[in-house]
Amino acid sequence: MGFVLGIPVSADPAERRTPIVPDVATKLRALGATLVIQDGATDRAHITPHSLGEVTWARSTDEVLAAADVVWTIGPPSPETVAALRPGTVLIGTLAPFADPDRVRALATGGVNAFAMELLPRISRAQSMDVLSSQGAVAGYQCALIAAARCPKFFPMLTYAAGTVRPARVLVIGAGVAGLQAIATAKRLGAIVEGYDVRPETKEQIESLGAKFVDTGVSAVGEGGYARELTEAEKGTQEAKLGKAIAQSDVLITTAAVPGKQAPLIVSEMMVKAMRPGAVVVDMAAEQGGNVAGTVAGSEVRVGSAHVVGPINLPSRMPVHASEMFAKNLFNFTAPMVTEGTLAIDTTDEVIAGTALTLGGAVVHPLARQVLGLEDLAPQGTQEGDA
């Protein structure tokens, strides 16, 4: 018995992470897995082939897919990869489930059982599997470093022979995993740090890191741990009070994003232009449209006198630890499916059912069907609009 787990090279040539690391490779073999990995799939994460132990190395993606029962991936597969997946293959990874209806349709009609880790239910039992949180922590850390490297001021207070240099002031908007990591990192670097989120329960978390909570009087608690959309009146109140905090900051880091949705525009061009001369803005949500007016994904631009940075794929900048975290998340998701070396999909398990995108030739995630207009691929017996 046993199953074959395949790791192809990422479809994104800029991706440096890999979903397999030595420790996880050892654990997979203990579960009964045989590993088939494409040559070069781990090189950019600085993982040498011999460190992975007993592995079958494949020369092409097609060779991996021809052998694999389970495929792990970082980032969605290319159309060519989707077409090459065998019916019944289990595909697990970050699949951008709301981005491309053609890709999801092809996965369903090709009989691929696809699990998008972005859809993982946000419950306590699934925390060890949560790639959004683990990679968000990397992204938040990177945002603080990017800001510190570009800020024309020292982050910490410094005393020198002629006097004292006051520390930089940093404001972080969004107190999810990424935002809290950005706050913690900026604080460790010595800056005066403030944090803001529309969810009032984050106040205690922000303050526990030594930062000051910016209270705008706006509360917007939503579902699944995310914030709901603000009303126009709430947006006006938020802009007026938040604008003052932004104007007093040397650095602004924004991290407000919800998977599969356009990032909320929180900071107007006027607010950016009101910042101190030489101010730095790092918009972590740039790939989803940005929280800041004027952000350009993948570029650095000037808005007034501010330096606005729109970084993309931040976790890939730190591939060693990001890969380690990602691989452990995937292992923790996959391992419960394996019994005596055989992998079985238990759709009564809320974690497995909630993460499933396509199963048995159907698009089983109701929100994905709705967003992508794929109701014709609903499971048999499911009525349009069923949850």
Active site residues: 122, 127, 130, 133, 226
Residue appearing with tokens 């106040």: 203
* Contact between residue 238 and residue 268 where contact means Cβ atoms under 8 Å apart: no
Compute the Cα dihedral for 195, 261, 82, 380 and give only its sign.
Answer: positive
Token digits for 10?
A: 């990422």
What does the alpha-carbon distance between residue 317 and residue 339 come to, in Å, rounded to a whole number?
36
What does the alpha-carbon distance between residue 268 and residue 294 come to, in Å, rounded to a whole number?
8
Q: Which H helix or E strand runs over 80?
A: helix 79-84
Phi, psi of 221 (to 5 degrees): -75, 130
The pairing of beta strand 113-116 with beta strand 356-359: antiparallel
CA dihedral 183, 185, 189, 195 (to 10 degrees): 0
Give Cβ neighbours of residue 148 (< 8 Å, ≥ 6 apart).
Answer: 155, 186, 189, 191, 251
Other residues' Cβ atoms within 10 Å of the Cβ of residue 134: 21
What does the alpha-carbon distance between residue 98 and residue 367 come to, in Å, rounded to a whole number?
9
Token digits for 15?
A: 């991706």
What does the alpha-carbon distance between residue 120 and residue 234 come to, in Å, rounded to a whole number?
30
Q: What 3-state DSSP class applies to 3?
A: strand
What does the alpha-carbon distance between residue 382 and residue 109 come to, in Å, rounded to a whole number?
17
Q: How far out from the chain centre does Cα 233 lie?
A: 30
CA distances from 28 to 50, 327, 346, 374 (A): 16, 11, 19, 35
CA dihedral 343, 344, 345, 347 (to 10 degrees): -150
